[in-house]
């Protein structure tokens, strides 16, 4: 194996150079991003070692925990091919209108019990009605007054006054995922556009909400498109980036999509850390199904997890996540505020 002057194998030295570039605030080239995704599987450990330098610089060994409550399930007019709550889905899921304030408050208490610093209130649909927004605002105000939780809302496309009301109520962060690349978007959904999602993120930023936006890997995108997705989120300056891996749900249009190989998922997480070095990179939906036994290695690139269940799919037991974090020598961030 060829050796650099540093004494490192040439490939390891290349990963270290990319990590240093990220630490310097320099943007990786498309070719460098592709090199990460297309690296030989034997290179994944030296790649993660280099990427861990970046993760550790910004976040040390702390892991942020987030918990989702599915505040409104199903009943969605959108045709997103990955989603069990979509109008085109035949998946047998629970369907209900927006939860009462008392239930949203109980969810916040459960987030505290699970050591989650961020509580994510997620509702299906194209966007909330003003009445639904009233319910969320009232719950948020009480949560903020009684619990040390960061609150993230994910309610779909917002009107300007709705974004302002959420900010005034004390919501810290708003999630609206880009999900896939601009080129791949029409194959995933047709009832709204990629540009609408971008504008939604820009709108919440203008209202003072911290932008949260991420992707779903495994929906037919190319490696180059994955790099483009990471660049798009860098340009949006998303503070929090959930990296989902498709969990192909029976009854959805993408039910026959295969899983992302665990080793490929690690390369994706490494890529997002290198392109968005200072941002919260969260291993999100589908991690148990796609990363499987390699989940712990993902935290050498990512610094955040969802704990508990997702929207319509189960997560692993919280105790398993706690043990994983402890075994790595990492620690749970005590408070996200």
d(CA 85, CA 285): 15
Q: Which of 55, 80, 197, 276 is catalytic?
A: 80
Q: Which ranges of 60-191 would DSSP assign to H, the alpha helix?
A: 101-113, 130-146, 160-169
Q: Which of 144, 212, 273, 276 is catalytic?
A: 212
Closest CA to 39 of 7, 12, 8: 12
Q: Which of 55, 114, 144, 152 is catalytic?
A: 152
Question: Among this protein's residues, is 282 annotated catalytic?
Answer: yes
Q: Which of 55, 120, 154, 197 is catalytic?
A: 120
DSSP string, 180-218: S-TTTGGGT-SSS-HHHHHHHHHHHHHTTPEEE--EEE-
Using alpha carbons only, give the angle 80, 81, 83 rounded to the nearest 5 degrees.
70
Question: Six-digit token pair at 127?
Answer: 């966007």
Task: Please check if 335 is assigned to a binding site.
Answer: no
d(CA 172, CA 195): 23
Q: Residue 281, class by beta-carbon neighbours within 10 Å (0-12 exposed, 13-18 middle, 19+ buried)?
A: buried
Q: Which of 55, 83, 144, 165 is catalytic?
A: 83
Question: Among this protein's residues, is 335 annotated catalytic?
Answer: no
Task: Please check if 207 is assigned to a binding site.
Answer: no
Task: Please check if 120 is assigned to a binding site.
Answer: yes
Q: Which of 76, 154, 207, 276 is catalytic?
A: 76
The residue to which tokens 């962060």 are assigned: 173
Task: Please check if 276 is assigned to a binding site.
Answer: no
Question: Among this protein's residues, is 76 annotated catalytic?
Answer: yes
Task: Please check if 83 is assigned to a binding site.
Answer: yes
Q: Which of 114, 144, 273, 282 is catalytic?
A: 282
d(CA 317, CA 332): 16
d(CA 274, CA 292): 23
| Cβ contact 298:50 at 8 Å | no
> Residues at the annotated binding site?
76, 80, 83, 120, 152, 212, 282
> Residues at the annotated binding site for [4Fe-4S] cluster?
76, 80, 83
Q: So which residues are the catalytic ones?
A: 76, 80, 83, 120, 152, 212, 282
> Residues at the annotated binding site for [2Fe-2S] cluster?
120, 152, 212, 282
């Amino acid at each position: 194996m060829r050796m650099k002057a540093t004494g490192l194998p040439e490939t390891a030295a290349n990963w270290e150079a990319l990590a240093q570039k990220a630490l310097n605030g320099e943007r990786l080239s498309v070719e460098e991003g592709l090199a990460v995704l297309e690296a030989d599987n034997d290179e994944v450990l030296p790649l993660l070692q280099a990427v861990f330098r970046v993760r550790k610089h910004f976040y040390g060994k702390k892991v942020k925990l987030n918990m989702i409550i599915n505040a409104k399930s199903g009943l969605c007019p959108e045709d997103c091919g990955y989603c069990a709550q979509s109008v085109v889905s035949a998946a047998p899921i629970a369907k209900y209108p927006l939860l009462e304030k008392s239930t949203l408050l109980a969810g916040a208490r459960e987030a505290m019990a699970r050591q989650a610093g961020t509580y994510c209130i997620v509702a299906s649909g194209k966007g909330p009605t003003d009445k639904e927004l009233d319910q969320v605002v009232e719950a948020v105000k009480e949560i903020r007054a009684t619990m040390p939780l960061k609150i993230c809302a994910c309610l779909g496309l917002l009107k300007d006054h709705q974004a302002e009301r959420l900010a005034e109520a004390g919501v810290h962060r708003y999630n609206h995922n880009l999900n896939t690349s601009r080129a791949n978007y029409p194959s995933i959904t047709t009832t709204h556009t990629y540009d609408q999602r971008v504008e939604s993120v820009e709108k919440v930023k203008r209202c003072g909400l911290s932008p949260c936006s991420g992707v779903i890997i495994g929906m037919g995108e190319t490696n180059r498109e994955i790099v483009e997705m990471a660049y798009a989120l860098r340009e949006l300056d998303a503070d929090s980036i959930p990296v989902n891996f498709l969990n192909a749900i029976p009854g959805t249009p993408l039910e026959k999509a295969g899983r992302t190989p665990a080793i490929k998922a690690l390369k994706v997480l490494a890529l997002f850390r290198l392109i968005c070095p200072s941002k919260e990179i969260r291993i999100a939906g589908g991690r148990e199904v796609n990363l499987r036994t390699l989940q712990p290695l993902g935290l050498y690139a990512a610094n955040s997890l969802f704990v508990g269940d997702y929207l319509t799919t189960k997560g692993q037991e919280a105790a398993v996540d706690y043990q994983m974090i402890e075994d790595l020598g990492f620690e749970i961030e005590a408070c996200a505020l």
